[in-house]
Chains A and B, each alone.
Chain A
Amino acid sequence: MAKRKDNTSPAITKRIKERDAKTLGKLVGLAQSVSKSALSGREPKVEIPTRTKSNTLWNKKRGILEMGDASSDRELFNLNQAKQFMQTMLHASTIKDLIEREKTSSLRGVFYKAKHTVAGTKENTFDRQEESDPILEDLEVTLGSLREELHVFAENRGSMVGNITVTDKGDDIDCRRMGSGGYAMPSIVEPDIIQFKKCEAKFVLHVEKGTVWNRFNEDRFWEEHNCILTHGAGQPPRGCRRLLQRLNQELKLPIICLLDCDPWGHYIYSVIKQGSISLAFESSRLAIPEARFLGIRAKDYDECDLGDSVKIDLTENDIKRANEIAAYPWFESNKQWQREIKGMLDNGFKMEVESLITKDISYVTEEYVPQRLKAKDWLE
Chain B
Amino acid sequence: MSKKGRRMDAPEVLTPPAPSVASRREADAGDDAARTKRGSPAKVTAETMATKQRDISVSEFFAKNRHLLGFDNPRKALLTTVKEAVDNSLDACEEASILPDITVVIEDLQPDRAAGAKASRYRITVVDNGPGIVRKQVENVFGRLLFGSKFHRLKMSRGQQGIGISAAGMYGLITTGKPMTIQTRPSATKQAHHIELAMNTKTNRAEVTVDEETDDFPLQRLRSLSQARELGDAFLSQGDYPTGTSVTIELEAKYQRGRGSVDEFLELTAIANPHARITLVRPTRITDEEEDAPLIRKGPRAEGRGVSEAEGATGADAASGTTPADAAPPAMTQDLGSIVVFPRAVNELPPETKEIQPHPKGIELGILLQMMKDFEASDRGGTLYTFLQEKFCRVSAGTAADFCKAIGATSRTKVSDIEPAQTELLFKEFQDSKLPPPPTDCLAPIGVQQLLKGMFKGVRAEFYAASSREANVYRGRPFLIETAIAFGGELPTEDTSRVIRFANRVPLLFQQSACSSFKAVSETNWKNYDLQQPRGSVPVGPLVIMIHMASVWVPFTSESKEAIADYDEIRKEMKLALMECGRKLGTYLRKRAKMKREAERRDIFERYIGEVAQAVAAVDGSDAKKVYDALLAQAKKRTAIADLQLDDEGKKVQEEDPADQEGVIVVEPTPDELAAKTAGQTARKPSGIRTKDEDEPALMDVEPVKRLSAKGKAKRERGATKSDKDSKAGKAEKPEARGAGRAASRDDLSDIPGTKQTKAEAAALTINAAQRSGEKIEKPRLRLDPKTGKMRPADDGPKLF
Interface residues of A (CB under 8 A from B): 27-28, 30-32, 34-35, 38-39, 41, 43-44, 76-77, 79, 82-83, 85-86, 89-90, 92-93, 96-97, 118-121, 123, 125
Least CB separation from B609: chain A residue:
A76
- Contacts of A92 on B, CB cut-off 8 Å? 615, 619
- Contacts of B759 on A, CB cut-off 8 Å? none
Given A28-B619, A83-B604, 4 additional A-B pairs, CB 8 A: A34-B616, A39-B627, A43-B634, A92-B615
Q: List 8 A-B contacts (CB under 8 A).
A: A31-B620, A39-B622, A41-B634, A44-B631, A82-B608, A89-B612, A92-B619, A93-B615
- Contacts of A30 on B, CB cut-off 8 Å? 619
- Contacts of A93 on B, CB cut-off 8 Å? 614-616, 618-619
Selected contact of B612 from candidates A34, A43, A120, CB within 8 Å: A34
- Contacts of B605 on A, CB cut-off 8 Å? 76-77, 82
Q: How far is the CA of A89 from the CA of B112 in the complex (A)?
A: 77
Q: Residues 132-163 of chain B: 1 if any A CB is under 8 Å from the residue's CB, otherwise 0?
A: 00000000000000000000000000000000
Interface size range on B against A: 20 to 34
Selected contact of B608 from candidates A38, A85, A97, CB within 8 Å: A85
Selected contact of B611 from candidates A31, A39, A41, A125, CB within 8 Å: A125
A76 touches B619 (CB 8 A): no
A35 touches B627 (CB 8 A): yes
A35 touches B638 (CB 8 A): no
* Contact A123-B607, Cβ < 8 Å, known A28-B620, A31-B619, A96-B618: yes
B620 touches A119 (CB 8 A): no
* Contact A76-B604, Cβ < 8 Å, known A32-B622, A34-B616, A125-B611: no
Interface residues of chain A: helix, strand, loop or mixed (majority): helix
Measured between C-beta atoms, what is the minimum distance from B321 to chain A in Å?
50
Most buried by A among B619, B627, B638: B619
Least CB separation from A89: chain B residue:
B615
B607 touches A39 (CB 8 A): no
Least CB separation from B603: chain A residue:
A121
Least CB separation from A32: chain B residue:
B620
A35 touches B617 (CB 8 A): yes
Selected contact of A35 from candidates B608, B616, B634, CB within 8 Å: B616
Q: How far is the CA of A41 from the CA of B627 in the complex (A)?
A: 10
B635 at the interface (CB under 8 A from A): yes
B608 touches A118 (CB 8 A): yes
* Contact A82-B604, Cβ < 8 Å, known A38-B634, A89-B611, A93-B618: yes
- Contacts of B609 on A, CB cut-off 8 Å? 76
Measured between C-beta atoms, what is the minimum distance from B597 to chain A in Å?
9
Measured between C-beta atoms, what is the minimum distance from B596 to chain A in Å?
13
Measured between C-beta atoms, what is the minimum distance from A181 to chain B in Å?
41
Selected contact of B615 from candidates A41, A86, A123, CB within 8 Å: A86
Measured between C-beta atoms, what is the minimum distance from B376 to chain A in Å?
82
A77 touches B634 (CB 8 A): yes
Measured between C-beta atoms, what is the minimum distance from A327 to chain B in Å?
40
B635 touches A77 (CB 8 A): yes
A76 touches B620 (CB 8 A): no
- Contacts of A96 on B, CB cut-off 8 Å? 618-619
Q: How far is the CA of A120 from the CA of B606 in the complex (A)?
A: 10
Selected contact of A89 from candidates B604, B616, B626, B634, CB within 8 Å: B616
In chain B, positions 648-677 with a C-beta closer than 8 Å to chain A are none
Q: How far is the CA of A38 from the CA of B635 in the complex (A)?
A: 10
Measured between C-beta atoms, what is the minimum distance from B378 to chain A in Å?
80
Measured between C-beta atoms, what is the minimum distance from B386 to chain A in Å?
78
Measured between C-beta atoms, what is the minimum distance from A196 to chain B in Å?
37
B622 touches A118 (CB 8 A): no
Measured between C-beta atoms, what is the minimum distance from B612 to chain A in Å?
5
Q: How far is the CA of A229 from the CA of B605 in the complex (A)?
A: 52
- Contacts of B626 on A, CB cut-off 8 Å? 39
- Contacts of B631 on A, CB cut-off 8 Å? 38, 44, 76
- Contacts of A82 on B, CB cut-off 8 Å? 604-605, 608
Q: How far is the CA of A44 from the CA of B611 in the complex (A)?
A: 14
A86 touches B619 (CB 8 A): no
Q: How far is the CA of A23 from the CA of B614 in the complex (A)?
A: 20
A121 touches B607 (CB 8 A): yes
